[in-house]
């Protein structure tokens, strides 16, 4: 029986073994041999049990190997080949022995020896060993493969992290310590005392140890060498400092790198934020999440060489570090080196506020004997090396010469370093070089930099010795070296030759005698740099270079660079320079953007003398390449340069009589980047996809009409740019007050949303958002020196903020009512606040404490002014909403604004009325004098800003653009601009030099598109109804319908009738053909906000502030039924079967009513915000509501029951399908919730998106929209219409973009 089983098993295994590509023949032979042994029972007396076990095992192994190898892919087979070959070798040996047993004669000899059983045991052991080795080999390879895979995954993650950081942070690689020049640190043994002090400071712990060390010193005293000896991190561009530091820290701390990459993935635009946000988001917050963070030293070298922002080296960087680092709790210290500039001293002194937050050391104030000893050590060592290397006979140079050199060097290490470089020049003899320096010129030290300048001059003059073409060489020097010292970023010899149109060899020859002054790499692709900034100062500062042949005129050099850059840009700039495609993407979404930017060339346009060729090239550039330049700067993350450069070049054009064609294009470009700064900054190609669609019919459009996109605006273009220069958006509620910083480059705003925001007034960017108030913020003011900001709010508190860092220095409490106003005294030491508790309080701004309270008001105090004392109480006939005192001593008057729209002028001495400014139609909420006191700007609830001539008492300008009451108006310090804030959530900047009336008093309030897409109907604030063609935006007719604002429109389903609801409490039904009034429905006692036709247009529902929703019979014009609510009704609509209506109130309640019975079916009170819109889904299975705070709630309709969806992220602007049930089984399609023919959505930030996917289509400028007012825009089947507070109706055909 056992023999039969073994035979059957072996017979089954043989064909399986034959199927194995690598083992088949061998295993088959072995199995056949075993089968033969079992069958020859007469000749081989073998134990049947052993034979059976061996046979079964062979079958099992063969079958397993066959199965696994048949599953494996070719790569796996190749990897296993060596282990399989080893197993095959063992099997071949067993096969040979088994084949001997198959021979009868040999078998009998074996049997005679009686060791058959031992042989079979040996075969089995050999097979076991071979299989074990095979398994071990494969297991080890698997483990190796897993290790390699894990390593590859880790390396892949690291590479992805590095690519992400490189792409978004754009670090300055030359700012790395590893990028420093060899030997750039202090010479061994020098500056030992100072370096030991810095080392002790870094290694010392404790709360009393400052985290900042400021090392200052005159140029050339060795600050950079000290910093390199300790460590280094520098370079000039302010915006790159924090991203570069983040990149360098991430390269040495993997945990921080992961945290940083998480931030970059969530906020890819973080590196382009203001420095305050960069410091918080990229450095401090991620570092706080790193456990056991080791101590780090950050070195910011040469702060004085950083680009200036708002007249401060490094912008806000140092004040930020001084304010934020000591409060961060991080074990990080900062070493800062700089020249002792006054502005830098002021930054350090101003931020201390009595606290020891930094240590300091001044290099040029150190013991001069120590400095001289260090310089002597440096010179001795390097001159001795030159003596050995050049095989000079000692002693050289000798003690007398060495002492002479040390005396000349004074405190300046740069002098010693330049001497060494000069003498070591291999083109000349060291003895001759030293002789030239020692015996040519006056050695008397007459000024701080005399000896350094003298040394530079000698090196330059020696380079001309014996040359007959000296004048030509000097001219070449000025051209080439002038470019090198003025370039914002250093260029290589190859790049310089390309920029300056020089032959590379010629340029290299010009630099060869200057190796002691310039770092000229042998590799032409590496940048050429000056060894020290003092050489730049020597060439540029008038009077320092005593030989005019070498002096560089900064203006002329800039002109040369501008001309060269223009020529390069004319050759290389083009649309879509990085071949991104036509998709609407943000810059941060472009893959591998950094590597695509190599051809983008930074512009150089600065004030200079008149150059005809420059103007000629400028004309060509503006008419052919200007848009592409803007695109390139946006892609490079330097879009703000567009605005600053255009601001610079406009007066240059005027001063140099540049032609009107070029000047007009430049001005148009300036207005374009102002109007579209929000979008072009983050998405370069929106320059074409959005800006060109909406700009006026201007010179820029004519020059670049060929770049217009296929998406087109069918309504007519305006002929002029809007008088509003900038619109600042970001607040979520009424903006109550604005305040300028002293220099006017920053503005602060206070809003009912509880935030204080800081803005860059040059480009409109938000710098920071200050949070701390627990309610509306009513007041905000800068201190006289712009270092601090004070704000007052409805929470009865006053907050004092650091204007740079946004740090909340203190919170002053004491008022018992809303603080309506808070201002600084003229010296910035005190704060005066006015409150609704009828008191004025005085506070010490330095000690953050209460000083005194002034009582005497009988009601809320809404504004205050700084005066020495109260001399008289003036009782007015009406409330005073605003006050302003003239700064002019020759005209001591003050103004007061009142609810009746009149501004009263009073004499300061007598308090008597001396005149009135009349023109506003509603309450005057703000009055402000210009700095010279000759003009006044006022803001009113009528939405107008007026500029008045005080002497003549006349209005010289009126600006309209806000869609709500104007809460505050301010002149810039120079009087050229006006800033206004409004209840419409926006802040606008106006050109104060423009006189006359600008903007419309009345504007479109609501729009609708007909079903056939041929027409648009609109209702205006003046009660007029208009019909427009969508094909060209022309008006068909306009009729007077109401006596008040038209809030809403509704079209019958056959487009023959239109209904309008108004602030005059009535509803009008109009004939669409001619606008004739078919009927006027009266019955409401307050403003009508919403109207809607039933499905067959036989009924009309209306909703009003009077708390009523009414159903009207359209044919009979009769009221059919009224529905009473607990509050004003903001929205109402019919169900698809017209059996129900839904309505929403201002207190957040949703009502569902039975049309026939008038009974309410349900009252849904799930959300407290006012309801703006409520409607049934097209299939009637869902109820959708939209609230004032933009929340969306959805209810499932089940007969008379309404179940609130548990999903909390419903959005009207992103209509993705939603799993409505908690178990995820019920899938809700957005097309079932909302009409599918309205796929476009206008976001509050101006983006028009395709709602089903969220895809961006284009961006609408603020002058053409008001997104939060839902009745002011409409879309249907790709046609998009929007009105605006500027009175402009915009119709855009976006059907092409939706294909």
Residue 844 reports pLDDT greater than 70: yes
Cβ atoms of 1218 and 1228 closer than 8 Å: yes
Q: Which of 508-517, 595-604, 623-632, 1011-1020 has the lowest mean pLDDT?
A: 595-604
State the DSSP code for 1055: S
Q: Which pLDDT does position 5 carry in this prediction?
A: 45
Q: Which of 294-298, 577-581, 700-704 has the lowest mean pLDDT?
A: 577-581
- Give the separation between CA 431 and CA 181, rounded to whole angstroms: 27
Nearest alpha carbon to residue 1205 among 1174, 1235, 1227 = 1227
Average pLDDT (917-943) is 90
Find the distance separating the first CA and the last CA of the chain, reported in whole Å. 78
Residue 313 reports pLDDT greater than 60: no
Q: Which pLDDT does position 748 carry in this prediction?
A: 95
Question: How many other CB atoms are there within 10 angstroms of residue 1238's CB atom?
Answer: 15
Q: Which pLDDT does position 101 carry in this prediction?
A: 46
Residue 38: band (very low, low, confident or very high) from pLDDT cuts 50, 70, 90? very low
Q: How do beta strands 1150-1154 and 1160-1164 pair?
A: antiparallel
Q: Among all chains, which residue has been given the structure tokens 């008379």?
A: 1200
> What are the tens digits of pLDDT across the range 419-474?
787 788 777 788 887 877 676 544 433 444 576 787 778 778 878 877 778 888 88
- Give the separation between CA 74 and CA 81, rounded to whole angstroms: 10
Of 1117 and 345, more confident: 1117
**Token pair recorded at residue 1124:** 């009473």
Alpha carbon separation from 879 to 835, 883, 896 (Å, rounded): 15, 11, 9
Q: Which pLDDT does position 775 carry in this prediction?
A: 92
* Residues contacting residue 8 through CB under 8 Å, at least 6 positions apart: none
State the DSSP code for 669: H
Cβ atoms of 622 and 662 closer than 8 Å: yes
Q: Which pLDDT does position 545 carry in this prediction?
A: 87
Of 1222 and 1040, more confident: 1040
- Give the separation between CA 55 and CA 1039, rounded to whole angstroms: 104
Q: Which of 140-149, 299-308, 1152-1161, 1168-1177 has the lowest mean pLDDT?
A: 140-149
Nearest alpha carbon to residue 896 among 867, 919, 920, 876 = 876
Cβ atoms of 966 and 945 closer than 8 Å: yes
Q: Which residues of 608-635 are buried (b: 16+ CB within 10 A; e: fewer)?
A: beebeebbebbbebbbebbbbbbbbbbb
User: Under DSSP, is residue 1237 helix (H, G, I), strand (E, B) or coil?
Assistant: coil
**Token pair recorded at residue 435:** 């002789």
* Long-range pairs of 657-665 with CB within 8 A, sequence gap ≥ 24: 658/615, 658/618, 658/619, 659/615, 659/619, 661/619, 661/623, 661/699, 662/615, 662/618, 662/619, 662/622, 662/623, 664/698, 664/699, 664/700, 665/622, 665/623, 665/626, 665/699, 665/700, 665/703
* Residues contacting residue 154 through CB under 8 Å, at least 6 positions apart: none
- Give the separation between CA 8 and CA 5, rounded to whole angstroms: 5
Q: Which pLDDT does position 4 carry in this prediction?
A: 52
Cβ atoms of 904 and 914 closer than 8 Å: no
Nearest alpha carbon to residue 30 among 62, 64, 65 = 62
Kindly report whether the global pTM for this prediction surpasses the value 0.85: no
Residue 233 reports pLDDT greater than 50: no
- Give the separation between CA 1279 and CA 198, rounded to whole angstroms: 67
φ and ψ of 540, to 5 deg: -95, -40
> What are the tens digits of pLDDT across the range 514-570?
877 788 887 888 888 887 777 888 888 887 888 888 888 888 888 888 888 888 888
> What are the tens digits of pLDDT across the range 167-197?
556 665 555 544 445 455 666 566 667 777 7
Q: Which pLDDT does position 1180 carry in this prediction?
A: 87
3-state per-residue secondary structure call for 567-614: HHHHHHCCCCCCCCCCCCCCHHHCCCCHHHHCCCCCCCCCCCCCCHHH
Cβ atoms of 940 and 921 closer than 8 Å: yes
Cβ atoms of 950 and 933 closer than 8 Å: yes
Strand residues in 702-806 grouped as ranges (E):
712-713, 724-728, 735-740, 746-751, 755-760, 766-771, 777-782, 788-793, 797-802
**Token pair recorded at residue 528:** 């050429």
Q: Which pLDDT does position 232 carry in this prediction?
A: 40
> What are the tens digits of pLDDT across the range 752-800?
999 999 998 888 888 889 999 999 999 999 998 888 999 999 999 999 9
| Chain-centroid distance, C-alpha 746 | 18
- Give the separation between CA 613 and CA 567, rounded to whole angstroms: 11
Strand residues in 310-381 grouped as ranges (E):
312-313, 332-338, 358-362
- Give the separation between CA 872 and CA 454, rounded to whole angstroms: 70
**Token pair recorded at residue 1272:** 């002011």
User: Under DSSP, is residue 655 helix (H, G, I), strand (E, B) or coil?
Assistant: helix
- Give the separation between CA 821 and CA 818, rounded to whole angstroms: 9
| Chain-centroid distance, C-alpha 222 | 37
Q: Which pLDDT does position 1084 carry in this prediction?
A: 96
Alpha carbon separation from 1235 to 1089, 1106, 1230 (Å, rounded): 21, 30, 9
- Give the separation between CA 891 and CA 913, rounded to whole angstroms: 14
Q: Among all chains, which residue has been given the structure tokens 């003036």?
A: 874
- Give the separation between CA 745 and CA 63, rounded to whole angstroms: 82
Of 652 and 110, more confident: 652
The vertex-546 CA angle with 544 and 547, nearest 5°, equals: 130
φ and ψ of 1293, to 5 deg: -95, 105
Question: How many other CB atoms are there within 10 angstroms of residue 848's CB atom?
Answer: 14
* Cα-only R_g, the chain: 41
User: Under DSSP, is residue 1282 helix (H, G, I), strand (E, B) or coil?
Assistant: strand
* β-bridge partners, 906: 894, 913
Of 863 and 1153, more confident: 1153
* β-bridge partners, 992: none
Cβ atoms of 125 and 77 closer than 8 Å: no
Residue 1110 reports pLDDT greater than 90: yes
- Give the separation between CA 310 and CA 1158, rounded to whole angstroms: 66
> What are the tens digits of pLDDT across the range 238-263?
667 788 888 888 888 888 888 888 88
Residue 803: band (very low, low, confident or very high) from pLDDT cuts 50, 70, 90? confident
Q: How large is the greatest C-alpha to C-alpha distance in the chain, in angstroms?
A: 145
- Give the separation between CA 760 and CA 777, rounded to whole angstroms: 20
- Give the separation between CA 246 and CA 229, rounded to whole angstroms: 21
**Token pair recorded at residue 878:** 């009406």
- Give the separation between CA 328 and CA 280, rounded to whole angstroms: 10
Cβ atoms of 1243 and 1270 closer than 8 Å: no
> What are the tens digits of pLDDT across the range 82-106?
665 565 556 555 555 544 544 444 4
Q: Which pLDDT does position 1229 carry in this prediction?
A: 66
State the DSSP code for 167: H
- Give the separation between CA 141 and CA 128, rounded to whole angstroms: 20
- Give me the sign of the Cα torsion angle 1222, 1226, 1231, 1232: negative
Tell me how long the chain is: 1299
Tell me the pLDDT of the chain averaged across its residues.
77
Cβ atoms of 63 and 16 closer than 8 Å: yes
> What are the tens digits of pLDDT across the range 276-291?
778 888 888 888 888 8
Residue 1185: enclosing H or E segment and its boundaries? strand 1182-1187
> What are the tens digits of pLDDT across the range 1065-1103?
999 999 999 989 889 999 999 999 999 999 999 999 999
Nearest alpha carbon to residue 977 among 947, 941, 954 = 947
Residue 616: enclosing H or E segment and its boundaries? helix 612-624
């Amino acid at each position: 029986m056992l023999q039969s089983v073994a035979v059957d098993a072996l017979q089954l295994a043989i064909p399986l073994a034959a199927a194995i590509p690598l083992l088949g023949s061998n295993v088959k032979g072995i199995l056949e041999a075993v089968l033969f042994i079992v069958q020859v029972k007469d000749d081989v007396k073998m134990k049947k049990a052993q034979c059976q076990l061996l046979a079964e095992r062979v079958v099992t192994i063969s079958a397993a190997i066959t199965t696994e190898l048949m599953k494996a892919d070719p790569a796996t087979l190749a990897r296993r080949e060596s282990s399989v070959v080893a197993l095959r070798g063992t099997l071949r040996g067993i096969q040979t022995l088994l084949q001997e047993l198959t021979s009868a004669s040999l078998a009998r000899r074996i049997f005679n020896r009686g060791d058959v059983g031992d042989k079979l045991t040996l075969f089995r052991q050999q097979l076991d060993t071979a299989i074990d080795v095979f398994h071990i080999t494969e297991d080890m390879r698997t483990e190796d493969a897993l290790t390699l895979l894990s390593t590859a995954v880790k390396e892949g993650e690291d590479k992805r992290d590095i690519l992400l950081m490189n792409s978004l942070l754009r670090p300055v690689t030359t700012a790395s310590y590893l990028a420093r020049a060899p030997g750039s640190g202090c010479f061994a043994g020098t500056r030992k005392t100072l370096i030991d002090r810095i080392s002790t400071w870094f290694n010392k712990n404790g709360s009393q140890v400052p985290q900042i060390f400021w090392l200052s010193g005159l140029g050339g005293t060795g600050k950079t060498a000290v910093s390199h000896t300790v460590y280094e991190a520098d370079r000039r561009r302010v915006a790159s400092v924090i991203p570069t530091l983040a990149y360098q820290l991430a390269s040495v701390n993997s945990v921080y790198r992961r945290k940083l990459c998480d931030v970059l993935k969530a906020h890819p635009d973080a590196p382009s934020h203001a420095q305050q946000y960069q410091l918080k988001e990229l450095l401090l917050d991620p570092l706080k999440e790193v456990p056991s963070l080791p101590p780090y030293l950050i070195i910011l070298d040469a702060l004085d060489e950083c680009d200036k922002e708002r007249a401060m080296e490094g912008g806000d960087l140092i004040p930020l570090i001084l304010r934020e680092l000591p409060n961060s709790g991080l074990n990080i210290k900062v070493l800062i080196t700089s020249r002792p500039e006054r502005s830098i001293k002021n930054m350090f002194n101003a931020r201390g506020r009595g606290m020891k937050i930094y240590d300091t050391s001044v290099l040029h104030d150190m013991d001069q004997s120590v400095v001289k000893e260090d310089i002597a050590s440096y010179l001795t060592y390097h001159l001795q090396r030159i003596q050995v290397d050049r095989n000079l006979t000692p002693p050289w140079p000798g003690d007398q010469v060495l002492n002479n050199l040390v005396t000349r060097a004074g405190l300046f290490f740069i002098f010693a370093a330049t001497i060494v470089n000069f003498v070591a020049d291999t083109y000349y003899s060291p003895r001759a070089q030293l002789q030239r320096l020692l015996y040519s010129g006056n050695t008397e030290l007459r000024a701080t930099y005399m000896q350094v300048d003298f040394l530079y001059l000698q090196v330059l003059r020696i380079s001309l010795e014996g040359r007959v073409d000296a004048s030509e060489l000097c001219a070449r020097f000025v051209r080439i070296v002038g470019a090198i010292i003025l370039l914002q970023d250093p260029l290589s010899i190859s790049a310089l030759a390309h920029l300056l149109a020089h032959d590379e060899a010629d340029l290299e020859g010009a630099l060869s005698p200057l190796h002691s002054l310039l770092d000229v790499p042998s590799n032409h692709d590496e940048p050429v740099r000056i060894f020290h900034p003092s050489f730049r100062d020597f060439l540029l500062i008038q009077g320092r270079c005593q030989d005019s042949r070498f002096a560089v005129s900064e203006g002329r050099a800039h002109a040369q660079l501008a001309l060269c850059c223009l020529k390069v840009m004319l050759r290389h700039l083009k649309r879509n320079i990085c071949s991104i495609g036509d998709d609407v993407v943000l810059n941060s979404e472009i893959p591998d953007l950094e590597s695509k930017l190599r051809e983008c060339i930074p512009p150089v346009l600065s004030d200079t003398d008149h150059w005809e060729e420059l103007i000629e090239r400028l004309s060509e550039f503006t008419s052919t390449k200007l848009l592409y330049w803007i695109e390139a700067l946006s892609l490079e993350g330097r879009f703000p340069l567009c605005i600053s450069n255009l601001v610079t070049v406009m007066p240059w054009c005027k001063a140099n009589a540049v032609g009107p064609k070029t000047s007009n294009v430049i001005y148009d470009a300036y207005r374009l980047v102002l109007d579209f700064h929000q979008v072009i900054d983050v998405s370069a190609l929106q320059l074409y996809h959005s800006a060109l669609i909406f700009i006026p019919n201007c010179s820029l459009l004519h020059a670049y009409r060929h770049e217009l996109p296929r998406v087109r605006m069918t309504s007519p273009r305006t002929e002029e740019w809007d008088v509003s220069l900038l619109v600042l958006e970001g607040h979520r509620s009424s903006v109550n007050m604005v305040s300028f910083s002293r220099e006017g480059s920053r503005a602060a705003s206070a809003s009912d949303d509880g935030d204080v925001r800081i803005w860059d007034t040059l480009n409109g960017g938000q710098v920071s958002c200050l949070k701390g108030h627990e309610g509306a913020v009513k007041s905000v003011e800068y201190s006289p020196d712009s270092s601090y900001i004070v704000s007052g709010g409805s929470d009865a508190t006053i907050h004092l903020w650091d204007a740079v860092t946004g740090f909340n220095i203190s919170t002053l409490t004491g008022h018992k009512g809303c603080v309506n106003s808070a201002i600084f005294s003229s010296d910035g030491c005190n704060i005066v606040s006015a409150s609704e508790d009828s008191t004025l309080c005085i506070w010490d701004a330095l000690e953050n404490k209460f000083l005194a309270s002034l009582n005497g008001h009988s009601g809320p105090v809404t504004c205050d002014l700084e005066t020495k004392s109260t001399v008289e109480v003036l009782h007015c006939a009406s409330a005073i909403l605003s006050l302003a005192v003239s700064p002019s001593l020759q005209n001591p008057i003050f103004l007061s604004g009142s609810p009746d729209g009149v501004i009263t002028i009073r004499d300061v001495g007598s308090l008597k009325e001396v005149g009135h400014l009349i023109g506003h139609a509603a309450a005057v909420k703000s009055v402000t004098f210009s700095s010279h006191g000759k003009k006044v700007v006022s803001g009113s609830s009528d939405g107008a800003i007026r500029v008045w001539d005080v002497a003549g008492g006349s209005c010289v300008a009126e600006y309209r653009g806000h869609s709500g009451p104007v809460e505050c108006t301010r002149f810039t310090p120079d009087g050229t601009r006006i800033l206004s804030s409004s209840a419409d959530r926006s802040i606008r900047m106006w050109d104060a030099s423009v006189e006359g009336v600008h903007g419309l008093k009345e504007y479109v309030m609501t729009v609708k598109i007909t079903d056939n897409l041929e027409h648009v109907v609109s209702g205006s604030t003046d009660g007029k109804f208009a019909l427009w063609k969508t094909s060209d935006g022309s008006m068909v007719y306009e009729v007077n319908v109401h006596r008040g604002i038209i809030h809403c429109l509704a079209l019958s389903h056959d487009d023959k009738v239109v209904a309008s609801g108004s602030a005059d409490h009535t509803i009008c039904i109009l004939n669409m053909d001619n606008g004739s009034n078919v009927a006027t429905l009266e019955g409401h006692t307050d403003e009508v906000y919403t109207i809607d036709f039933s499905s067959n247009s036989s009924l009309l529902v209306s909703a009003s502030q009077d708390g009523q929703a009414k159903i009207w019979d359209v044919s009979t014009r009769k009221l059919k039924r009224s529905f009473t609510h607990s509050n004003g009704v903001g929205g109402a609509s019919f169900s698809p079967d017209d059996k129900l209506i839904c309505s929403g109130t201002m207190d957040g309640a949703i009502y569902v009513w039975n049309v026939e019975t008038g009974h309410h079916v349900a009252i849904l009170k799930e959300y407290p915000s006012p309801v703006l819109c409520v409607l049934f889904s097209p299939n009637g299975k869902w109820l959708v509501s939209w609230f004032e705070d933009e929340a969306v709630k959805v209810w499932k309709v089940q007969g008379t029951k309404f179940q609130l969806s548990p999903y909390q992220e419903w959005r009207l602007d992103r209509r993705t399908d939603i799993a409505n049930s908690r178990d995820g089984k019920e899938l809700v399609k957005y097309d079932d919730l909302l009409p599918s023919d309205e796929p476009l959505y206008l976001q509050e930030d101006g983006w028009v998106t395709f709602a089903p996917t969220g895809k961006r289509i284009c961006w609408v400028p603020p002058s053409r929209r008001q997104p939060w007012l839902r009745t002011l825009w409409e879309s249907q089947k790709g046609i998009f219409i929007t009105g605006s507070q500027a009175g402009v109706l915009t119709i855009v055909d976006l059907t092409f973009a939706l294909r």
